[in-house]
A and B are shown apart, each in its own frame.
Chain A
């Protein structure tokens, strides 16, 4: 059987105008006016470059990649919103795209009117909308407010209505962009359930999400994009591992699993090196539930009975979510004297954190004062997975519930 979608060397080029600094721009503009000459420079930027793949009917394709990798551009080309600059796509089925729920919703129109308008925008026939109308209303749970203008709906109600219309789309190929990232936990559960239903009914889905666990559980084929290029295609698990692995190989700069520090002048003790570890192996990318530990290498110029070592976890918003040190929690000690170079392992157990990037601040002190504080010395990435095997991932916004830590100290050499 011929593939339902053939994507052949699709490229998309954008022109970006160089904006100069404000003060330069004013001058530039005056020069421009005086010289009657165009000095504005522009640069070509390839949002996508030579993407080729085929999709078989019934496949669920998960497209993964960082922000700016070209995922949304690819979906926009597939949905014919924007044409490619090169290459072509052969489609053997009707494509419906869901780049947003509730496209075209108008606040002044009633719920009923918006169902018809939105359904029609999504490509449903009027007959189709009429026949599914009751089911849509039922699914949305807003039947009491059907004849109320949409502007009086709560945002949750609007979202439910919007999703309800989208849920009854029945194209051969469905293109979805990150629409599941909105709404509360119950809503997301509903969305994911519907997604499952659609893929089980044999339809083809192309799906972009940052929620890798959803991609893992609901797609069979994966596609990894990186700076506009396709770097990996294959079974979804392989693609996700590849993607996480490539994040590990230091593309952020500060997020490699090893960080080295120069001794600060005048200090009597300092941190040389920190390594983050996943299940005992160096890594800065974790799944929820992985064992996380940090291995520190420190130097003490004076003999200390027990140095004080602490760490703070902050989330992307800068909120502190964990603070601990070896005085709060009894450390396992190998030896009693710390002089020269020592290795310290902080084993924090299984990560109970949701998806996101986390930053770790370390500090080193003795009984009298802080010797060294390294703000955001490391960062690591957590990807949420279905660790309980129940097919469900908790919604974002759940704080860590519990976090026992063990700290093990061992002196390795004496000066």
Chain B
């Protein structure tokens, strides 16, 4: 085995190296999941309680005033949004801060740095699966048992779009956060703002103008959430929206990885 260490500023993806470090990715993800609920009384039940409580609150305030398309009860409408939104919001805030919180490790040892934001995103999956189970329970409760199968199929493209978006944005923020610590304050603010700019608690149709609706639909999460809502309400899929979202998520994914790998060489010096 022979290799060279030299000055590198160019972008390189190096998937082979990433594959070599797959076990480390597994252990980092496991760590993030384990420490999340250590020393809590309810433990992983929080993963279920959080979206349930949020659903209850949103239902209390908006179920009368917001008209949802089709026969979808507002509870299911908002929970389907939260299902993906929670991956995105905790994903980008964990990933965005991950390089700074793991600074002591990246200063002392080498491994492909991208593993850190990647594990931050992957560690949201446990919460997601728990709330997915709860969501299936809710479907049964609202008499939509037959929709579970269509959900089981359409959850995958929706999840893919959400993960690509979260990882792209998360790794971009992680890299920026190393250099400009302003992003530590930007991230929570951004998550807050985005909750209202994403059709999680309202349908895009509440907006009066077509062009505003079009802008909101540029958000890849809009398409991902729409996929699930169509799947559980039996409405026909909006293919152009899905295509836009998928392309948008791929763009964010590529941008995030590109910027991260372009700048990772100086992380240990600045973190």
Chain A interface (Cβ < 8 Å from any Cβ of B) = 14, 76-94, 97, 99-100, 103-104, 106, 108-109, 113, 116-117, 120-123, 125-126, 149
Contact = CB atoms under 8 A, between A and B. Distances in A.
A410 to B, nearest CB: 58
A84 B265 CA distance: 10
B24 A120 contact: yes
Contact of B6 (A89, A100, A106, A109): A89
Interface in B15-63: 23-24, 26-28, 30-31, 34-35, 38-39
A303 to B, nearest CB: 67
A104 B111 CA distance: 13
B6 A108 contact: no
B5 A78 contact: yes
A120 B5 contact: no
Nearest to B39: A108
A104 B105 contact: yes
B157 to A, nearest CB: 32
Most chain A Cβ neighbours within 10 Å, of B6, B8, B26, B268: B6
Contact of B110 (A87, A91, A97, A109): A97
A87 B6 contact: yes
Interface residues of B, number: 31
B31 A88 contact: no
Contacts of A103: 104-105, 108-109
A83 B34 contact: no
A81 B108 contact: yes
Contacts of B108: 81, 97, 99-100, 103
A104 B30 CA distance: 13
Interface in B152-169: none
Nearest to A7: B5
A143 to B, nearest CB: 21
Nearest to B6: A88
Task: Please list the 10 inter-chain residue pairs (A to B) with the smallest Cβ-Cβ separation, ordered nearest first.
Answer: A88-B6, A80-B110, A89-B5, A120-B27, A108-B38, A103-B108, A81-B268, A108-B35, A82-B268, A99-B108
Interface in B104-127: 104-111
Contacts of A87: 6-7
B210 interface: no
Contacts of A109: 31, 34-35, 38
8 contacts: A14-B269, A81-B268, A82-B265, A82-B268, A99-B109, A120-B26, A120-B27, A121-B27
Given A106-B35, A121-B24, A88 B109 contact: no
A126 B23 contact: yes
A78 B35 CA distance: 32
Nearest to A5: B5
A14 B105 CA distance: 21
B1 A79 contact: no
Given A81-B268, A109-B34, A122 B7 contact: no
Contact of B2 (A77, A86, A90): A90
B3 interface: yes
B268 A76 contact: yes
A210 to B, nearest CB: 19
A84 B6 contact: yes
Given A83-B5, A87-B7, 10 more contacts: A78-B5, A81-B110, A81-B268, A83-B7, A87-B6, A90-B4, A97-B109, A103-B105, A109-B38, A121-B109
A341 to B, nearest CB: 58
A83 B265 CA distance: 6
Contacts of A81: 106-110, 268
Given A91-B2, A94-B1, A149 B38 contact: yes
A113 B38 CA distance: 13
Nearest to B3: A91
Given A80-B110, A108-B39, A85 B269 contact: no
A92 B2 contact: yes
A116 B24 CA distance: 10
B18 to A, nearest CB: 14
Contacts of A113: 31, 34
Contact of A117 (B6, B27, B109): B27
Contacts of A84: 5-7
Nearest to A94: B1
A374 B2 CA distance: 60
Contacts of B109: 79, 81, 97, 99, 103-104, 121-123
Most chain A Cβ neighbours within 10 Å, of B31, B39, B268: B31
A49 to B, nearest CB: 15
Contacts of A120: 23-24, 26-27
Given A83-B265, A120-B24, A126-B23, A88 B4 contact: yes
